[in-house]
Amino acid sequence: MRRDNRKQNKKKTNDNILTYCMLAATILVVAIIWVMNYLGKKEESNKYANLGNNKLNTITNTSGNIASTSTEIGKSVNEVINSNATTNNVSTNSTTTNQTTSVTNKTATNKFAKNANTTNEVSTPKTTTETKSVEKNNELSFIKPIEGEISKDFAKDHLIYSDTLKEWTSHLGIDIKANENSDVVSVESGTIKSIKNDPRYGVTITIEHNDGFQSIYSNLQTSEMVVEGEQVDKGQVIATIGNTASFESKDESHLHFELLKDLTQVNPNEYIK
């Protein structure tokens, strides 16, 4: 009896399990079918959307072409020809106007250029004359700084004896005899470059001239008659003779005079007239 009950219970249990499995399989099949239908509808919807966009673009392009050609609709053949002819005439007239303006400007430019050349040709002789006049005025002509005999000559390449130093030495200027307090003048127009008390040659004035020339006046009595930077004329009194040169204190009363060209001592006798 118990064995039969066990068999029935086991069979009942197996039947229940089989029923549940079939039910689960059915539900799974239904779910798969639903998912496939959903995906298919979505793909078809996207397809229709893309097709609608393409049609819209086609309609827009067609409308643009229609708009571009609408200006000719309703016109006869003659009207279209006349319209094109008018446009061409306007373009031709514009080109002709530009060409005429170009010719006019070119003519005016040539006219002004010709007048400018004529002006230059007329003014050239005047400029040349003025240049020659300036060059002539810039020519230097040195005069004597003071009247008197030369007591000691220029000696750059050889030695002469100095009574003051008691030795043979060079002499880069000339000594001109003159009494104390005698006037000393500028040998040429120029600018007072410096006024100083040189330890060897006493009160000394240097004047700067054109063409790289400088004149130096030493053994002077005073330096108060001119100031540095002052413009002086040829023959203008700049100082008086003194006895301030320690290197030539035992020589006769004189002016020690030097002339430089481009900062190099030259023989004054070759330039003074």
pLDDT at 197 over 60: yes
Locus of tokens 């040189």? 198
Listed by start position, the domains of the chain span: 150-270
Instruction: Give the pLDDT score at 108.
Output: 45
Contact 217, 179 (CB under 8 A): no
pLDDT band at 218 (very low <50, low <70, confident <90, very high): very high
Measured CA to CA, the distance from residue 18 to residue 21 in angstroms comes to 5
Where on the phi/psi map is residue 181: left (φ > 0), alpha (ψ -120 to 50), or beta?
left
Determine whether 229 is exposed, middle or buried from the number of CB atoms within 10 Å of its CB (0-12, 13-18, 19+): exposed
pLDDT at 184 over 90: yes
Instruction: Give the pLDDT score at 13.
Output: 79
Determine whether 155 is exposed, middle or buried from the number of CB atoms within 10 Å of its CB (0-12, 13-18, 19+): middle
Classified by CATH at the fold level, domain 150-270 comes out as Glucose Permease (Domain IIA) (2.70.70)
Average pLDDT over residues 118-132: 42
Q: Read off the pLDDT of residues 67-109 as tens digits, 9 standing for 90 and up.
A: 443 344 344 444 544 555 444 444 444 444 445 444 444 444 4
**Minimal CA–CA distance to 188: which of 171, 212, 155, 219?**
212
Measured CA to CA, the distance from residue 260 to residue 267 in angstroms comes to 9
Contact 209, 193 (CB under 8 A): no
The residue that leads in pLDDT, 27 or 115, is: 27
Measured CA to CA, the distance from residue 16 to residue 27 in angstroms comes to 17
Instruction: Give the pLDDT score at 264.
Output: 97
Pairing of strands 237-240, 231-232: unpaired
Task: Name the residue type at position 93.
Answer: N
Instruction: Give the pLDDT score at 138.
Output: 58
Q: Read off the pLDDT of residues 31-78 as tens digits, 9 standing for 90 and up.
A: 888 888 777 776 666 655 555 555 445 444 444 443 443 344 344 444
Count of beta carbons in the 10 Å neighbourhood of residue 198:
16
Contact 90, 83 (CB under 8 A): no
Instruction: Give the pLDDT score at 94.
Output: 45
Instruction: Give the pLDDT score at 50.
Output: 59
Instruction: Give the pLDDT score at 92.
Output: 46
Instruction: Give the pLDDT score at 64.
Output: 46
**Minimal CA–CA distance to 143: which of 207, 62, 99, 96?**
207
Instruction: Give the pLDDT score at 217.
Output: 98
pLDDT band at 7 (very low <50, low <70, confident <90, very high): low
The residue that leads in pLDDT, 251 or 107, is: 251
Instruction: Give the pLDDT score at 219.
Output: 97
pLDDT at 230 over 50: yes
- Tell me the average pLDDT of the chain: 75
Instruction: Give the pLDDT score at 38.
Output: 78
Q: Take residue 79 and report the two structure tokens written for it.
A: 């009207």
